[in-house]
């Protein structure tokens, strides 16, 4: 939006929970809730109609679950044309969350998250400078990731420039834009440009998906956080 407001959609099959999130979002400066949906199929239609910046997506719903909806939405356009998906889950350390990252989700929230955590995660995903809850995200990829059975070489990164490869490997470790800038002796504005190039050239949707891609292709070895 030209006025800089963050447009958020809420997808959850529990109307009371969904209504609470809507009220929370609409109470914030610079945020609007542009719609709600009760299942994944309705979420896809809502995305097509409203084109939100952020979509809060329950993973377990009738008709179409949140994982399939995330895949459908991710496939509906380029990364800059689709919303940042934040999946909602009752279990923090869950294979379903990993699968959501693989499908292009940017972050996750447990349903007992505080209002500050919800709003902070929305702002972090919209800002795109870091992976929200990075330690938990790296732990999920470490524990549920499915690396290829044989080593793959850096030729999988052939579309990237040398500097973009360097940024990719730092992204894959969960570093923020500021940390990447310090490590590479470059400005944060330059980092943002390289991150955008990495995502576009590798057809990835989020920083979390970069971590998954790197781990599954044996380009990084994540330590247990």
pLDDT at 151: 56
Segment 8-14 shows an average pLDDT of 97
CATH of domain 6-127: 3.40.50.2300
Cα–Cα distance for residue pair 97/201, rounded to 1 Å: 24
Helix, strand, coil in percent for the chain, rounding step 5: 50, 10, 35
Q: Per-residue pLDDT for 150 more than 80?
A: no
Cα–Cα distance for residue pair 201/199, rounded to 1 Å: 6
Helix axes 66-74, 40-50, angle to 10 degrees: 30
Work out whether the CA dihedral 19, 21, 23, 26 comes out positive or negative: negative
What's the pTM value of the predicted model, to 2 decimals? Answer: 0.91
pLDDT at 1: 41
- Alpha helices (H) along the chain: 15-26, 40-50, 66-74, 95-103, 115-127, 134-144, 162-171, 177-184, 188-202, 207-216
Segment 127-148 shows an average pLDDT of 90
Cα–Cα distance for residue pair 101/24, rounded to 1 Å: 25
Q: Per-residue pLDDT for 77 more than 70?
A: yes
In the chain, which residues fall in CATH 1.10.10.10?
Answer: 147-216
Q: Which architecture does CATH list for 147-216?
A: Orthogonal Bundle (1.10)
> Hey, what are 76's tokens?
């509906």
In the chain, which residues fall in CATH 3.40.50.2300?
Answer: 6-127
Give the distance, in angstroms, between the CA of residue 39 and the centroid of all CA atoms in the same chain.
19
């Amino acid at each position: 939006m030209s006025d800089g407001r963050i447009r958020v959609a809420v997808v959850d099959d529990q109307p009371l929970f969904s209504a609470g999130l809507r009220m929370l979002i609409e109470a914030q400066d610079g945020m609007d809730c542009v719609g709600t949906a009760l299942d994944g199929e309705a979420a896809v239609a809502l995305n097509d109609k409203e084109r939100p910046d952020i979509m809060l997506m329950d993973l377990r719903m009738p008709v179409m679950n949140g994982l399939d909806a995330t895949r459908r939405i991710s496939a509906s356009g380029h990364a800059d044309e689709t919303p940042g998906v934040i999946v909602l889950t009752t279990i923090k350390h869950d294979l379903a969350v990993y699968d959501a990252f693989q499908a292009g989700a940017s972050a996750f929230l447990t349903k007992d998250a505080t209002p500050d955590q919800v709003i902070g995660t929305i702002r972090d995903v919209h800002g795109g400078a870091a992976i929200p809850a990075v330690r938990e995200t790296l732990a999920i990829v470490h524990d549920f990731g499915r690396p290829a059975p044989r080593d793959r070489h850096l030729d999988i990164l052939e579309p990237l420039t040398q500097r973009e490869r360097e940024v990719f490997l730092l992204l894959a470790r969960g570093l923020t834009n500021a940390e990447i800038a310090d490590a590479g002796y470059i400005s944060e504005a330059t980092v943002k440009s390289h991150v955008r190039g990495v995502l576009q050239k590798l057809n990835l949707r989020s920083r979390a998906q970069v971590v998954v891609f790197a781990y599954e292709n044996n380009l990084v070895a994540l330590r247990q956080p």
